[in-house]
């Protein structure tokens, strides 16, 4: 069963839980960019609560008129340093931060010009970490909807309401098992896959059911 998602920056763990029951991942390349979404934003957990990390894009005020696949990252802002320091502060003391840190940092230092390319490189890294061996394909033209068996999950997840949505009962998509987190007593859903990886390491995939 193939699943269609938009490109996302450090996607939430629920994104990968959906892939656990899929035989292919399709990424939307032909859409126009949507602001204030996971396309250029992720959520991490800090001592002060949930914190968004946002990748700035060139001409952000007019970015919704640009194809997501063509959107350029704005490196005039020192966001790479800011994001990395935030990850170090939030997760530096977790069991597996050092296990992944060098690989992840190298991806950031590549500074790909396009947001889609950054997201894709990170996605392939996370698929390897989670041992999700599924092919990644790309749309060649835009369609507002798709027939089954393709599961259309575009805009299914949003940082505006970071909850764990219930997958369709007939979809076969997986659910996320709660896991210990760094701060607080109650489980916080909607966080980036980094939260799970830094806490569970190579066992992270077992929480995607």
Per-residue pLDDT for the chain (209 aa), expressed as one digit of tens each? 899 999 999 999 999 999 988 999 999 999 999 999 999 999 999 999 999 999 999 987 777 789 999 999 999 999 999 999 999 999 999 999 999 999 999 999 999 999 999 999 999 999 999 999 999 999 999 999 999 999 999 999 998 764 444 444 334 445 788 999 999 889 998 999 999 999 999 999 999 87
3-class DSSP state of 154: coil
pLDDT for 72 equals 96
User: Which domain range does residue 164 map to?
Assistant: 2-207
Predicted model pTM: 0.92
CA atoms of 85 and 68, how far apart (whole Å): 27
pLDDT per residue as tens digits for the range 101-115: 999 999 999 999 999
**Structural domains counted in the chain:** 1
Closest by CA to 19, choosing from 131, 119, 109, 102, is: 131
pLDDT reported for residue 174: 54
Peptide bond into 68 cis (omega under 30): no
* Cβ proximity of 16 and 208 under 8 Å: yes
Residues in the chain: 209
**CB 34 within 8 Å of CB 55:** no
Q: pLDDT at position 176, please?
A: 83
| Nearest-angstrom CA–CA distance, 29 and 116 | 8
């Amino acid at each position: 069963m193939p699943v269609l998602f938009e490109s996302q920056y450090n996607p939430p763990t629920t994104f990968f839980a959906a892939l656990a029951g899929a035989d292919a991942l399709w990424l939307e390349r032909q859409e126009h960019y949507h602001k204030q979404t996971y396309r250029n934003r992720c959520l991490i957990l800090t001592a002060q609560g949930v914190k968004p990390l946002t990748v700035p894009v060139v001409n952000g005020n007019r970015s919704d008129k640009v194809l997501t696949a063509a959107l350029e990252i704005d490196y005039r802002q020192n966001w790479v340093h800011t994001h990395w320091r935030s990850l170090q502060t939030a997760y530096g003391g977790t069991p597996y931060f050092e296990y992944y840190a060098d690989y992840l940092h190298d991806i950031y230092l590549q500074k790909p010009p396009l947001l889609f390319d950054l997201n894709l490189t990170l996605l392939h890294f996370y698929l390897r970490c989670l041992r999700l061996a599924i092919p990644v394909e790309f749309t060649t033209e835009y369609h507002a909807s798709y027939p089954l068996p393709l599961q259309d999950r575009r805009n299914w997840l949003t940082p505006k309401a970071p909850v764990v949505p219930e997958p369709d009962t007939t979809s076969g998509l997986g659910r996320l098992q709660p896991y210990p987190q760094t701060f607080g007593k109650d489980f916080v859903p909607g966080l980036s896959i980094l939260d799970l990886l830094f806490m569970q390491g190579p066992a992270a995939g077992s929480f995607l059911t």
